[in-house]
Chains A and B, each alone.
Chain A
Amino acid sequence: MHFTRLQQRRGDASRAAMSVDTQTVLRIASLARIAMSEEEAERLKPELNNILGWVEQLGEVDTSGVEPLAAVIANHTRMRDDVVTDGDKRDDILANAPVAEHGFFAVPKVIE
């Protein structure tokens, strides 16, 4: 396998990395609204830690005084005119709905 060198670099970084525990994995899954059992979280944990450890090598880069990239290619915001050009297509909007009733999307009842 020819990735040994790159993998070694990854290994170094992951050793330094703060690692994510099962509870954190579950919290992230809940934030992302992905149902997850403790066993699944347990299985995912080392994978996530590997990836996070690997990306943490970015910490080596001195970015002081560097602005985050704002636009990939220099380009300006174009502003739309304030005119009604769309809407009035309820059938299209609801066509793929798992449950639609009386012109509404329907979801399990929400108690506020």
Chain B
Amino acid sequence: MKRHVRAGARMVLGAMLLGASMLLSAFDTESMPTPEMQKRYNGLTHELRCMQCQNQSIADSPVGLAEDLRRDVREQIIAGKTDAQIRDSMVARYGNVILFRPPFQPSTAWVWLFPFLLLIIGGYIAFRIVRQRKAMVASDDSVIEPEDVTR
């Protein structure tokens, strides 16, 4: 009995999530002829930037230009273009900025490498702090008094 309740709750939750996501993408009602094409369409439209709204993908944006770009992606997929060809055609018209994942080039190298540089610096600082504390604890053999704990 309990299991049934839980399964029912899960279904309700699932339906709510689905409803919410359908509501969010209500402006993109077009579907592709095959599930494979639909999967590629979903992938591509989520990695292309809506040029009018910068931080949204064309899949998430209701503006007219995003709609036109989705139509462009749909038509290119149906025409038999590969994902790489479609990406290249977008870059040829709008530049690298249309890709949320910019290609690794001399001009974009710092975008890719800077986080790793920060990670190394942060790791070094953390390492030094840990070593310092360790040394403090090792050399401190005083007895902990009750008032020290409460403070």
**Chain B associates with chain A:** no
The chain B residues found within 8 Å of chain A, CB to CB, are none
